[in-house]
Structure 1
Amino acid sequence: MTAHLHPNAIHAFTDDALADHDATALANALKSGKLSAREVLKACQQRADQVAKQLNAEVPMTGEREPVSLASTGAFAGVPTYIKDNTDVGGFPTNHGSAALRPAPCRKHSPFTRQYLDQGMVCMGKSALPEFGLNASTEPAHGAPTRNPWNTAYSSGASSGGSAALVAAGVVPIAHANDGGGSIRIPAACCGLVGLKPSRGRLVDNPAARSLPINILSEGVVTRSVRDTANFYTAAEHHFRNRKLPAIGQVIGPGSKRLRIGVVLDSLNGHRTDPETRDTVEHTAKVLAELGHEVVPMPIPVDDSFPEDFALYWGFMASLVRGAGRWVVDRSFDAQKLDGLTLGLHRMFMANKSRLPGALLRLRRSTHRFEAAMAPFDAALMPVVSHTTPELGYLSPQQPFDTLFQRLQGYVGFTPLANVTGAPAIALPMGLTSEHLPVSVQLMAAPGHDRTLLELAFALEEAAPFPTLSPGI
């Protein structure tokens, strides 16, 4: 659905080889010979150059760098993409969105990069993120912020904000994202995309995820269509299949079962959802009911201690960066150049570190609490974030830490639960604000039930086509 655009909107959609194809359509055109790999990559580079200065979504690279591919076949053979700049790609440095690093080009691909590029995609470069993925807006303290293509005065979300901006603006149809507290779903919500955080262990983990006391990190993608997301996970299972989880398999449309869906309207940390977001969730509930599902209110599926415990774990991760970055991240690491949010989270954790053992215990138990709460339901419907997309500067790391952290807690109230419990959760764009910005909803399910969410996503996309920046080429 082509939306009425704000005067500050910017996109790169045009009548070239990319047109407004999703990744699946583009891959099919490449396989059939209707398009050549050369003309597709040329069109992508031209689009990237067109919006580079306005969006600041791509990490600038010194010197000429060739696109990186790993396989000439696969579900998305020849489709251009970007990989987030906290994930190693051979030949590219990994900067983690931070001025504290000046790393050399990586010698090899990360385990997930190999799974990703095994699908035949071509990496055009690295996408921007906030420092070490700790913020909910892609606004590095040392450089220009990544702007939302729907309205460039606003945030593109985080920490996969660069990827989301590039996909929404039409530079590429699919891009890598990862999620430690909402970083696939929040930028997808801000930029009007589909963003599935899969069940824990669904995709290959990168080393950092496996080293955490609670693995809250998940890899994934942001796309403009449900079928691209579904096809990505189908293809990913050919590279790696976790036998502890039910297979997703091929999902091609809505499911046939009538489901029981619970609705949560206000955030897990007590912040009331704003009217436009609440209206979008309630509208989505009505659409699901019209599709034949039973939609009923449900209690918040987590203990009262969860928000504080997750905040402490958030600080713990920043403190790991602050204390061990030189040995764990890169030898070029200089802690004195960390931004205000990372340092503030570190100080917060150090003042409360004696509480960490109890917090870890309760966070681990939250998985059982969540699964028990979900037992009567097939899925849960809720907002992605507590209020609509903020303007740039509102979540800047240059804000005083206490102000910024209070704002983050008032914004990121729904997404961390899926990270701690290992549950799948998907963001879907279901409306537009008065400022012509997307408003999204989140669907969650019990761990392993990713397929249920994809089937529901297909049904919603069919019933209420998602808004897009494409002029309808």
Structure 2
Amino acid sequence: MKFEEYAELDATALAALVRDGELSAQEVREAATSALDEVAPRLNAVVGERFDAPLEHADDGPFAHVPFAIKDLIVHAAGVPQRAGTRLLGEGVPMPADTHLMTRFRRAGLATLALTATPELGFNATTESVATGPVHNPWDTSRSPGGSSGGSAALVAARALPVAHANDGGGSIRIPAAACGLVGLKPSQGRTSPGPDYADPLLGMGVEFAVTRTVRDAAGLLDAVHGYEPGDRYLLPDPPRPYADEVAGGSRRLRVALWTTPFSGHGAVDPRCTEATEAAARTLEGLGHAVEVAGPELDAEAFDAANLVAWTSFLADGVDVLAAALGVTPGPEHLEAATLACAEHGRTLRAGDLYAADRVFNATRRAVAAFHQQYDVVLTPTMNVPNTPLGYLDQNDASRDARGWYDHIFSTAGFTALSNVTGNPAISLPLGRTEEGWPVGVQVVAPYGDESTLIALAADLERATPWIAHRPPGGSAM
């Protein structure tokens, strides 16, 4: 199987060819291995040695033998070392068991070939770390692929893999999807299991899923891996029909709110991001949807203060648990400067600070839920900018305190964190282009638990503004 043939196929198409006997699992694996050989060193997107053979997976899953990778953060596989982008973990700590989602990835038939890079402990909107170096965006290797799932996004955008694991606590699926020209679906809080390690990672804001090149891959994979595990805190109703059916079925007429001002108090918006979003709004109007300029009324200052409490307390706890287990006192030889500053800030917080943050989050969730009584979806830019230069979001910059680092990150991404707080499903779609040819992401947000509406509308936008043929100029395996 040649690169050119492999690169043309999304995960759904590859799985169908294997299932129908037109391709063997070995042929697909060899094509993926060759693609990774070509792409991974140039992009610096793989962590550690690739696996000699794919991790064990089902032969009869809906994505049987489709090449895959897991991000080196949160989700883990039994016996595979995890480094989390930090020197604190050295060459990695082998994990004792699968997380629940990893078990479901295996059951779906995904053939895991590698781990993908992440910034230190995932607290960045780029994928650069002292431990592993910068990951390069295949559209322009001087630019960031976004973060924190930038390693996965770079490999999928470069056609080395059709799909890869990603997670999202403030935009870490959607930001790299926007920067790399991919589909980035963040499911509703509780739609995929965070267990058994977590009940509510990042005070409930952390969600696990994947980055894909097509909406149908996102829908089919969500069908394969969503659902309750015993002990999970949330039990969401199953969708009325498979998500994959929503792709073909198309959307009902929707009330769409167009909003191009960041929900947090951060940053100007690049006109190209605004223009791409407004163009998407016109497309939706052409498809018969009702579009109005509107957004929920939120206290941006209170939101950012609460979000800072959530992030720094979670980071401090993670650092302290790891350091205690390893028997070390974390310092600059283990952690980057901004990570240390944020962990130190997190250690100063009291229980009252966490409850105060939760009150803000509660008010935010209820304000957004009320807004969705009037509007079925919200349309925004995904990022404030199409992408950022490598080095701009330097997590080892000692000049920034915790709030300064938080503000710096979210000055590039003022639209994504709101859906982490509310738990609403959100998707980034590569609907725009810059004069350089870079992709521009547009975000759609639906009410909590309503991935069905989100996927149906995303599929309509994909048909109206197809992006699959638009590829990185020099960063693919071809």
Q: TM over 0.5, yes or no?
A: yes
Describe the SS at the equivalent of 2:429.
Answer: strand
Which segment drifts farther, 365-374 or 395-404? 395-404
Describe the SS at the equivalent of 1:222.
Answer: strand
Evaluate the alpha carbon distance shift between residue 157 and residue 129 of structure 1 in structure 2; reply closer, same or farther with a 3 A threshold: same
Q: Which residue of 1 aligns with 2:437?
A: 436
What is the identity, as a one-letter code, of the residue corresponding to 1:210? A
Q: Partners of 2:228 and 2:195 in 1: how far apart? A: 15
Shift of 1:194: 0.4
Describe the SS at the equivalent of 1:142.
Answer: coil
Q: Give the counterpart of 1:128 among 117, 121, 127.
A: 117
Q: Which residue of 2 aligns with 1:364?
A: 362
Evaluate the alpha carbon distance shift between residue 423 and residue 445 of structure 1 in structure 2; reply closer, same or farther with a 3 A threshold: same
What is the identity, as a one-letter code, of the residue corresponding to 2:273? T
Q: Give the counterpart of 2:41 among 53, 56, 59.
A: 53
What is the identity, as a one-letter code, of the residue corresponding to 2:290? E
Shift of 1:363: 1.2
- State yes or no: 1:99 paired with 2:87: yes
Residue 261 of structure 1 contacts residue 380 of structure 1 at CA under 8 Å; is this kept in 2?
yes
Alignment of 1:70-469 (within 5 A): 70-86=57-73, 87-102=75-90, 103-210=92-199, 212=201, 214-237=203-226, 243-247=235-239, 249=242, 250-270=245-265, 271-304=267-300, 305-327=302-324, 331=326, 335-336=330-331, 337-350=334-347, 353=350, 355-399=353-397, 400-402=399-401, 404-466=405-467, 468-469=470-471
Evaluate the alpha carbon distance shift between residue 192 and residue 254 of structure 1 in structure 2; reply closer, same or farther with a 3 A threshold: farther
Describe the SS at the equivalent of 1:469.
Answer: coil
What is the identity, as a one-letter code, of the residue corresponding to 2:4? D
- In percent, how many aligned pairs have the same letter? 36
Residue 129 of structure 1 contacts residue 158 of structure 1 at CA under 8 Å; is this kept in 2?
yes
Evaluate the alpha carbon distance shift between residue 89 and residue 178 of structure 1 in structure 2; reply closer, same or farther with a 3 A threshold: same
Residue 202 of structure 2 contacts residue 314 of structure 2 at CA under 8 Å; is this kept in 1?
no
Residue 296 of structure 2 contacts residue 367 of structure 2 at CA under 8 Å; is this kept in 1?
no
Q: Give the counterpart of 1:33 among 9, 17, 21.
A: 21
Evaluate the alpha carbon distance shift between residue 374 and residue 211 of structure 1 in structure 2; reply closer, same or farther with a 3 A threshold: closer
Describe the SS at the equivalent of 1:359.
Answer: helix
Shift of 1:365: 2.9
What is the identity, as a one-letter code, of the residue corresponding to 2:284? L
Q: Partners of 1:334 and 1:29 in 2: how far apart? A: 52
What is the identity, as a one-letter code, of the residue corresponding to 1:36? S
Which segment drifts farther, 102-111 or 125-134? 102-111
Shift of 1:268: 1.4
Q: Partners of 1:192 and 1:408 in 2: how far apart? A: 20
Shift of 1:240: 6.3
Aligned length, in residue pairs = 458
Shift of 1:350: 4.3
Describe the SS at the equivalent of 2:128.
Answer: coil
What is the identity, as a one-letter code, of the residue corresponding to 1:280? A
Residue 209 of structure 1 contacts residue 216 of structure 1 at CA under 8 Å; is this kept in 2?
no
Gaps of 5+ in 2: none
Gaps of 5+ in 1: 1-12
User: TM-score under structure 1 normalisation?
Assistant: 0.91
Residue 81 of structure 1 contacts residue 123 of structure 1 at CA under 8 Å; is this kept in 2?
yes
Which segment drifts farther, 442-451 or 240-249? 240-249
The CA deviation string for residues 161-209 of structure 1, in whole angstroms up to 9 with x for no partner, is 1110010001110111111111111111110000110011111213444
Q: Which residue of 2 aligns with 1:5?
A: none
Describe the SS at the equivalent of 1:175.
Answer: strand
What is the identity, as a one-letter code, of the residue corresponding to 2:312? G
Shift of 1:334: 5.7
Shift of 1:362: 1.4
Q: Partners of 1:256 and 1:200 in 2: how far apart? A: 23
What is the identity, as a one-letter code, of the residue corresponding to 2:287? L
Residue 191 of structure 2 contacts residue 236 of structure 2 at CA under 8 Å; is this kept in 1?
no
What is the identity, as a one-letter code, of the residue corresponding to 1:318? L
